[in-house]
Each structure stands twice: as structure tokens, then as C-alpha cells.
Structure 1
């Protein structure tokens, strides 16, 4: 009989944890109950807007909600056409901003129906360089008002809001209702104007945090056990106390300039770079590529410093 000593027993290998990176700027998935409530509201909006288009255009119109999700504002704009009809609005007077993006061909087809046409749009009308006429703007604002009214009605039982149109744009270049990294709520739709028309895409964007906060107020008060509500309250308290103390990188910069690769590699001591920053313009105070304030340079003892000023204030 062979006796095996304890030292000869096979050792268990210690498991080593696998560390994976987590990007806090990436949107997380919506909670199931929130996602379902929002889907119901957006589907109700699609049905109501279909009826509105039917009565206004006197044509068979179909609007279908294709999905609801959360993504960064930068990613949302990157997925939209550079040219189109961009309807900026506020969820209520003085409230957060939202955005409706429609293809130019869809809007111009609707305008042709409104004016008694057959929904045929000339190529010159869809020229990206063509500006909207006064008549175009009036008709678009009227149609946008009905769209936003239907949106408010659809959300009345979920997230009460009274959307108000702010501006009509033809390009996404100057849209600044949110920072690039801000997470927004996006609902995708298809719309077909006419019986045999091909469906076209459009989207509705809402500010995520205000919508979820209102949704939680209306639904979350009676959801979960006492222990779950206590845990959630404690987590919210920890976040409210610790997040404001987190360090962030802040820099002060001038207006950047563009140089060719050849010019950059040829830089030598003594070269002068002529920056496009005017001498009378304050510097930008920047964090995460977002300009937070303007400042004028100076000194504090032996250190460089800057004084935050009004954005419209010139250096003295």
C-alpha cells in the first residue's frame, strides 16, 4: 500500500480576477420597466401622429416606432444626416431641450401635399444649399406644432410634458442642446407619406435624466420593498456627496490652429507660430473638450493664473 504524503497532494491554482475596463461615458441599458413604459408612450405617439398626418395631408400615412434606446449625444448626431430638417424644442417652457430629425424629402413631400400637390418634390427643392422660404418655415412650424402636441399627449400618463418648438435648422452643425458625452434618450421611427411611398426614417431625442427622474417619480414611489427603497436612497446619497468631489482635468487654451504634417515635423527652435486667437479675446477654460468659461491670463505670485470673466467681456 502506498501512502501519499500531504505535501504530494495537488495544489489548487488560485484564481486570478480578470480586470476589464469600464467607460463611464458610455450609456447603460435602460431598466426594463422604464424601457417598456417609454416604448408604450412612443408607440402611442406614432399612432397619434399617423392620424394627424392623415387628417392634415389627406393621404394614407403610416408612422411606426422602430426602437427606443440611450446613447451619447455625439453618437446620436453622428448617425443622423448632415442635412435635413432639425426641430429643436423644449420639453416645457424653460425646460430641457429635445430634438426631432426628419429627412428633407419627407418634409418637402408633406409640404407639397399641404399645398394641394401630389407629393412630387423637384430635385432643386432638395438642394442642400437651398434655404427654406418664409412659406416653408410657416408650414413646417405648423406641422412641428402638431407633432409636438401629439408627443405631449402620448406622454401625458407617463412623463407629463408640454413641448414647445424652439428653432428649425437645416443642418446639425450648430446643434448644442447637449454636451457630446451627455446621454440622451432616442426613439427611432419610420414614416410613409402616401399609399405606395417608401418608409423614411426620423427620430425623436429627449433628455434622458429629466425623463427618467419624472418616470421614477410617477412609477417608483410604490415599486420595490422598503429595503430596496432604503438601499436606493443610500446609493443616491453617496453619489450626491462623492461625485461633486471627484477631480477633473481643467485646462486653459487658445483657439487651435491646423498645420500640415510636413510643417509640424519641420518645426525647429526659433520658429514662430501665428495663432488665430485674437489678442483681445479671453482664453477658453476647457474640460473634456467642453468650454465651460472664459478667462484672462495673469499671475499669482510665482505661478501663472487666470481670471474667469464674463463670456462677452474683453480683456482690459
Structure 2
């Protein structure tokens, strides 16, 4: 194959892509933030330098997702409020036992066997999962407002019934490095919990006229408002010779309110007043333009 040839990717017509490119990018950035946050939390919990890296984000049916996992693995299931399908955080059992070993003062030099967790190990793992869920909510923000509550831990991907076989899941691949050991992990969230919130404007707002959308956006832009006296014109020689104690005669009458200006444009006049311990301007006239 020529070096400049573009890579060819197989397309499965039975599972068309359901994410727009901009939506995929939003999810990739969210899960990348989660990966950084969780890596920091792991370092604090296991007291060993840890790093989590985000890999591919895609939409899969639950059957496809479960089929991509090894038969023996750790799947922590979470109930999603208002949705029958469950969210999943999956990682290898030996990796989890290594984390627990570090938390208990071990070195992690010996590889851990694949077995179910003891009550103590599961309690320590629950603390790690609590941090993961907190970081997930923080990273997804408004995309994931439904609370997640722990449901169960499954050790066989083929027997874990987290969702119906055809339920769409947003799946993010992760690479976890804790100390000297690396392990793959995944996060699967029911698409029904996220897809309706991916459009930042919402379906109703996106149909508004363009001029109205521009006015709505401009109304939220902060501007500086100033109270000013009428300006005067002086010679450069006066400016260069200014000294402490000099008096400048202003052309602004004492009875006239100050000008309310935005970017040099006078919009109104305001009388000087006070609001608590601060000076304030009370609008007395609006310039009609």
C-alpha cells in the first residue's frame, strides 16, 4: 500500500453511525477530562503514580459491547435514574486486586489471580468507584444529569444483564496505568441518558430565526458602562505641563447629570447617587437615537 494512501475502515450497514462528528468531539473531550480526573483520584487513593488515557468513543449495542469484553472481567453496574439500562465501568480483575494491594501497603510486584473480591476488597473498590462516578458527573456536566447509584458487581461479561441486547450504549475505551502495570478499561453509558442532551441549543431553539439567535447571543455579551463628564479640548502644551495642583475648567455644568456611555457612545444621563457604601448613577434621561 502506498505511504500516502488513506486508511480504509469497514462500515457495518447493520449498525449505522448515530453520532454526528461534532457530537463525537464533545463526548471525546468529556471522557478525556474524565480520564485525567480519574487518574489524579487513583494516584491519591492507591498512593502510586497513576494515569488514565482516553481512547476511542463509539456507539455500540449492548450485545456488541458485551461481546467485545473478555469472559472473565470486573463489571461494576450502576442504576441510572429514569432509565432501565445500567451504566458500566469495566476493568480486569487482576488490575483491581493490584489497586487494592497498593491501598493496603503492598508493592504490586506479584500478579494477582482472577477471583471474586472479598468483603474488604470490595469495600475499598467501592471508594474508588465513588470517585470515578463523581469525576464522570463532573466531566460530562449537563450531558449526564441523572444520578448513578451502585447496583452490583459482575465477574462474567456474558452473564451480566446491564441492558437489553439492542440497547444503544456510548462506550469509551480507557488505558489505565497504575505504577508499573497497565490495563484496558471501558465505560458504557446508556445512550438514552446522553443523546437527548448533546445538542447544546436544543431542538426548539435551533429552529428559531437566525436574527433572533444573534440578538439572544448579543444580549448575553458583557459591556463596560461608564459615567462621564463632558470632554474638553486642550492644547498638547497644557497636557505636557500638567502639575499637581493645576485646575482644569470643565465644560460640564454642575446641575447637569453625567453621561452614561458605552464604548464612547452616550446612551443616557444619570444623576450621581449612592447604593449602600458605593457610588451609583440614577438614570434620568435616555438618548433617543
The interval holding the TM-score normalised by the smaller chain is: 0.5 to 0.7
Partner of 2:192: 209
Matched, 1:191 2:176: yes
- The Cα shift of 1:62 comes to 0.6
Cα deviation code 1:197-232 (max 9, x no counterpart): 24311000001123101223x44347645489xxxx
SS in 2 for 1:174: coil
Question: What do the CA deviations read for 1:38-95 (whole angstroms, capped 9, x no partner)?
Answer: 1111111101101101111111111000010011111111110111211000234766
SS of the residue 1:69 aligns to:
strand
Name 2:284's counterpart in structure 1. none
Three-state SS of the structure 2 residue aligned to 1:99 is strand
Contact 1:159/1:211 (<8 A) preserved = yes
> The residue matched to 1:155 in structure 2 has which SS?
helix
Going from structure 1 to structure 2, the CA distance change for 1:82 and 1:227 (only over 3 Å counts) comes to farther
Look at both structures and tell me which one has the larger radius of gyration over its CA atoms.
Answer: 2
Cα distance in 1 between the residues matched to 2:47 and 2:163: 37
After TM superposition, give the deviation of residue 188 of structure 1 in Å: 0.3
Tell me the distance in 2 between the aligned counterparts of 1:71 and 1:94. 17
| 2:103 corresponding residue in structure 1 | 114
**Aligned equivalents of 1:131, 1:27: Cα separation in 2:** 37
1:41–1:158 Cα contact (<8 Å) kept: no
Higher normalized strand content (fraction of residues) = 2
Q: Is the 8 A contact 2:83 2:193 kept in 1?
A: no
| Separation in structure 1 between the aligned mates of residue 125 and residue 34 of structure 2, nearest angstrom | 19
Does the residue aligned with 2:38 lie in a helix, a strand or coil?
helix
Aligned twin of 1:105: 94
**2:202 matched to 1:220?**
yes
Corresponding residue for residue 134 of structure 1? 119
The two structures have a TM-score, normalised by structure 1, of 0.58
Whole-Å separation in 1 of the counterparts to 2:147 and 2:25: 22
Question: Retained in 1: the 8 A contact 2:170–2:190?
Answer: yes
Q: TM-score, normalised by structure 2?
A: 0.63
Question: What does residue 31 of structure 1 align with?
Answer: 20
The secondary structure found in structure 1 opposite 2:163 is coil
Query: Which ranges in structure 1 are unaligned for 5 or more consecutive residues?
Result: 1-21, 229-316
Alpha-carbon spacing, 1:31–1:77, altered in 2? closer, same or farther (3 Å): same
Q: Secondary structure at the match of 2:19?
A: coil
1:151 partner SS: helix
CA-based RMSD: 2.5
Task: Give the superposition deviation at 1:148.
Answer: 1.1
Residues 25 and 181 of structure 1 are in contact (CA less than 8 Å); yes or no, is this contact kept in structure 2?
A: no
Matched, 1:181 2:170: no
